[in-house]
Amino acid sequence: MGTASARPVANKYPSAHVLKIHGRLFLIDCGEGVQLQLSRYGFSHVKIDRVFISHLHGDHLFGCFGLLSTMALMGRTAPLYIYAPGRFSEILAFFMKHFGEGVVFDIIHVPLTSTAPEIVFEGRSVEVSAFSLNHRIETFGFLFKEKEPARNIRKWKIESDNLTLSEIGTLKRGEDVVRADGEVLKVEDFTYIPYKGRSMAFCSDTAPFPELASYIRGVDLLYHEATFAEDLVDMARKTFHSTGAQAATVALEAGVGRMVIGHFSSRYRDPDVILKEAQAIFPATELAREGMKFDIPLVRYPAEAK
Amino acid sequence: MGTASARPVANKYPSAHVLKIHGRLFLIDCGEGVQLQLSRYGFSHVKIDRVFISHLHGDHLFGCFGLLSTMALMGRTAPLYIYAPGRFSEILAFFMKHFGEGVVFDIIHVPLTSTAPEIVFEGRSVEVSAFSLNHRIETFGFLFKEKEPARNIRKWKIESDNLTLSEIGTLKRGEDVVRADGEVLKVEDFTYIPYKGRSMAFCSDTAPFPELASYIRGVDLLYHEATFAEDLVDMARKTFHSTGAQAATVALEAGVGRMVIGHFSSRYRDPDVILKEAQAIFPATELAREGMKFDIPLVRYPAEAK
């Protein structure tokens, strides 16, 4: 919902992104105007139950005040979890003191602390890890992993092997069955995993650093900041940001499926130059623009697959 | 730049307005996204030297954080004056503590206190008064008055009466001249006021109250909130807001030139119903929409006029 960096320009919004997974909405970063962008793109505030804030620079944060106020105004009662650096607790306390009058729902701040990836949220179908990035202030990246789904039984085996309901349950839980006569029904022969768990990583803002590729290895979709093109690589170093080419090098090294770049400096009227430099290194790079949607298609395994 | 009330909807922004007067930009209210709207409509942040914040509800305020940050990022050094209720000092202190690192310009908070109109700023060509409105929290309206311009000399009198440079200076300052022979040159005979000083009043958010019309009597342009139509007059009373008809009654009683209404509740998909009810009482009512510009034309007096 926002592809600008610190200085927004007309029609470009600061950092804000929605990740939709199994009907659940995760909000990643909270740039100014995020509540307007949510309305514009038809996302209901009500469906957001977790917010992930990478760091406490204004362009990733200033939209949270309006968002929380509007949630209150609309009568929200469901708790809201906000994963953000420790100092966010002071910002939340300030908000509650001055603007919290109508807030009747719980706002739970989960402080981020880990360097290497560490799980910060585990739900039924997804787990989220946070890890440190390399920016001017404490900053975190996020790794969203769809959990491996429950095993399916190979239907034709039910009849051929006269499986009982109890045996089916055991196999689906991933345990082998040992029958009274000593026969062993092996999980891999009788069940399969219906689809591959998908994954997405979010890395903004950051300068490149050696460990990053290992943190996000093999994700299906990587969002990585690409504030500058190579002409301003010195500026990128100085401000702890990445160029498109640097982001592409990370994507290549991490062996990700695709990469989306964003967080463009207002110096680039057209960020196509950043895209081209990235694609020269990692061709499966796409440019984020406000309102764009990137799907991660479900890869179904055939029943014959292990 | 913003016609929404507390709950913004797609393409409607919270309260924010620019008043341009003699090349100077005054910003009135600072709703979320104001810096984006300023860019969109081509206003330079640099030219804003005074900000007037009516009250400390989020929909009139939350844009100030991003605006101040961007001013800092763009290297502003000129001081910025913010006229706002007293509690704004705590909000400013919070901002400076957490986000003030790059702010090298002075931000001067002028606390508002007056009930009846009291001058809070006096410049060369304009004076601004603040006065209390009738809202749920401490809220102020603003009255912007172009100063009466310096008198012009009636050019044909220079020759006919052999005016000296010194006599011209005296007359232009508004003082009669007494010549050595006792002849008195009267200011009104020799000079005229070239144009009428213009005026504009800003009233949001407020329920109607008896004194308001007297505070803003005869202004050329009145901006008045009209959050609701008559169908929700009870809601207006409960939340200390006005209906279009109530705003129009104030405009009529105050004898203003024209009225612009805004701050529409998101309940009204089309605020035309509010406009119609207002125009039935005060025909010279116009509806604010994002990006609209309202001119107050200069009324020039002929040289023959006193």
Say if residue A255 is exposed, middle or buried (CB neighbours under 10 Å; 0-12, 13-18, 19+): exposed
A271 to chain B, any CB pair closer than 8 A? The answer is no
In a domain, A11, yes or no: no
In a domain, A52, yes or no: yes
CATH of the domain at B73: 3.60.15.10
pLDDT of residue A9: 78
ipTM (interface predicted TM): 0.89
Sheet holding A118-122, edge to edge: A118-122, A126-132, A140-146, A199-203, A221-225, A258-262, A285-287
pLDDT of residue B306: 58
- More confident position, A30 or A23: A30
Over the stretch A61-106, which tens digit does the pLDDT of each residue have? 999 999 999 999 999 999 999 999 999 999 999 999 999 999 999 9
- Percent of all residues in chain A with a pLDDT value above 70, rounded to a whole number: 99
What is the average pLDDT score of chain B? 95
Q: Do B7 and A66 touch (CB under 8 A)?
A: no
Residues A74 and A114 in one domain: yes
What value does the mean pLDDT take over residues A185-193? 94
CA–CA–CA angle B256, B257, B262 (5° rounding): 80
Annotate A82-121 with DSSP letters as a single string: EEEETTHHHHHHHHHHHH-TT--S-EEEEEE--SS-EEEE
Q: Which residues of A are catalytic?
A: 59
In a domain, B104, yes or no: yes
User: A43: nearest CA in chain B?
Assistant: B10
pLDDT of residue B90: 98
Residues A275 and A215 in one domain: yes
What is the average pLDDT score of chain A? 95
pLDDT of residue B11: 80
pLDDT of residue B166: 95
**Domain count for chain B:** 2
pLDDT of residue B8: 73
What value does the mean pLDDT take over residues B92-103? 96
pLDDT of residue B7: 79
- Percent of all residues in chain A with a pLDDT value above 90, rounded to a whole number: 90
Instruction: Return the axis-axis angle of helices A88-99 and B88-99, rounded to nearest 10°.
Output: 170
Residues A41 and A167 in one domain: no
Confidence of residue A305 (pLDDT cuts 50, 70, 90): low
Q: Let me know: does A262 contact A274? Beta carbons within 8 Å.
A: no
Over the stretch B101-138, which tens digit does the pLDDT of each residue have? 999 999 999 999 999 999 999 999 999 999 999 999 99
Residues B99 and B226 in one domain: yes
Residues B41 and B163 in one domain: no
Residues A107 and A225 in one domain: yes
A229 to chain B, any CB pair closer than 8 A? The answer is no
Residues A280 and A187 in one domain: no
B101 to chain A, any CB pair closer than 8 A? The answer is no
Distance CA B32, CA A9 (A): 15
pLDDT at B300 over 70: yes
pLDDT at B62 over 80: yes
> Which of A162, A191, A220 finishes a domain?
A191
The CB density around residue A47, as the number of other CB atoms within 10 Å, is 15
pLDDT of residue B249: 98
In a domain, A226, yes or no: yes
pLDDT of residue B305: 66
Query: How many Cβ pairs closer than 8 A exist between chain A and B?
Result: 85
In a domain, A73, yes or no: yes
pLDDT of residue B301: 86
Range of the domain at B178: 152-191
Q: Do A94 and B99 touch (CB under 8 A)?
A: no
Residues B90 and B237 in one domain: yes
Distance from CA of B156 to the nearest CA of A (A): 52
In a domain, A199, yes or no: yes
Residues A37 and A163 in one domain: no
B136 to chain A, any CB pair closer than 8 A? The answer is no
- More confident position, B23 or B248: B248
> Which of B167, B191, B215 finishes a domain?
B191
Considering only CB atoms, which chain B residues are within 8 Å of A33?
A: 32-33, 36
pLDDT of residue A306: 58
Weakest-pLDDT range from A59-68, A178-187, A295-304, B289-298: A295-304
In a domain, B275, yes or no: yes
In a domain, A293, yes or no: no
Q: Would you state the structure tokens that stand for residue B179, as one six-digit string?
A: 């010549």
Residues A160 and A139 in one domain: no
Residues A161 and A73 in one domain: no
User: A93: nearest CA in chain B?
Assistant: B94
What value does the mean pLDDT take over residues B210-228? 98
Distance from CA of A221 to the nearest CA of B (A): 29
Residues B247 and B131 in one domain: yes
pLDDT of residue A108: 98
Active-site residue, selected from the candidate residues B59, B205, B220, B272: B59
pLDDT of residue A23: 87
Q: Do A8 and B70 touch (CB under 8 A)?
A: yes
Considering only CB atoms, which chain A residues are within 8 Å of B62?
A: 32, 62, 65-66, 69
Confidence of residue A53 (pLDDT cuts 50, 70, 90): very high
pLDDT of residue A7: 79
